Homo-oligomer: A and B are copies of this chain.
Amino acid sequence: MKLSLNQATVKRLTLAEAVDGCVRAGIPGIGLWRDRVQEIGVEAAAKIIGASGLKVTSLCRGGFLTATAAEERAAALADNRKAVLEAAGVGTDVLILVVGGLPTGSRDLPAARTAVADAIAELAPFAAENGVKLAIEPLHPMFCADRAVVSTLGQALDIAEAFPAEQVGIVVDTYHVWWDPQLPESIARAGRERRILSYQECDWILPLPADTLLGRGHVGDGHIDFARIRELVTAAGWRGFAEVEIFNQEIWDADGDQTIATVRARHEALSLASGS
């Protein structure tokens, strides 16, 4: 499996610095974030990427589609259309969606989930016209209230199947799905239905920090059996990259080159051990 560095792993680096770090480390892919693209503009970002020879494996992220108030909803849709154009502009066909939590003050989870499906229905044709696929990312259920009401791969696939596989798919992020008792069936289904658009790696470490968003570890530092999950996605037909995306304050505070070296070393050790 080829390695891609999601630039959130080296959060302090600019796009140019992250690209340069990947090139120097011999990492062939990169996942981009919108804030770092917007900082220099899509055209400049595309130029840097083009010169580097790196493959852009995803753009993070669109989403936050659960608002029901008309104005808020329209703003979210407009921002997602902008994200689609940015994805196309930097040369990736994968826009990752973190779908959003419960709207403020609401406890109506089924309604929020319906709102997500409705918003994707509005965005998918526009994305397709621009050569971009929407990749629904189920987040760990501990983020259900505040970040993503899509909590499992099965649920993401249920939403995706209303659309052509050329328009909407899913993300398999080990951190978010490793615990799922239905993981083998859901990954196999995702492959069968041609829905896997991104495979991300990041380890589950304990204890969780006060900000649970930042409790993620380098591959190998935690409790996830990556060899097993790689086997599942490979058996499901995935021939793309393993994109490493780690949210962790300590890792963010570390030297970027050091982090990139660790990501690469862990990837190689895992590939060797798992034969993938």
Residues of chain A whose beta carbon lies under 8 Å from any beta carbon of chain B: 102, 107-109, 113, 140-142, 144-146, 151-152, 154-155, 158, 178-182, 204, 206-212, 222-225
Complex Cα distance A210/B207, Å?
A: 8
The answer on a CB contact under 8 Å between B151 and A108 is no
> What are 10 pairs between A and B in contact, CB < 8 Å?
A108-B225, A140-B141, A141-B180, A145-B179, A151-B180, A152-B181, A155-B181, A207-B212, A208-B208, A210-B210
The answer on a CB contact under 8 Å between B208 and A212 is yes
Interface centre among A107, A140, A146, A182 (most CB of B within 10 A): A107
Complex Cα distance A107/B203, Å?
A: 11
**Distance in Å from the Cβ of A156 to the closest Cβ of chain B?**
9
Q: Which of B113, B207, B223 contacts A107 (CB 8 A)?
A: B223
Q: Which of B108, B109, B211, B222 contacts A207 (CB 8 A)?
A: B211
**Distance in Å from the Cβ of A184 to the closest Cβ of chain B?**
9
Give every chain B residue within 8 A of A207 (Cβ-Cβ). 210-212
Q: Which of B107, B146, B208, B225 contacts A142 (CB 8 A)?
A: B208
With CB as the reference atom, state the residue of chain B lying closest to A205.
B145
With CB as the reference atom, state the residue of chain B lying closest to A223.
B145
Known A-B contacts A145-B204, A225-B107; A154 and B181 likewise in contact (beta carbons under 8 Å): yes
Complex Cα distance A209/B142, Å?
A: 12
The answer on a CB contact under 8 Å between A102 and B181 is no
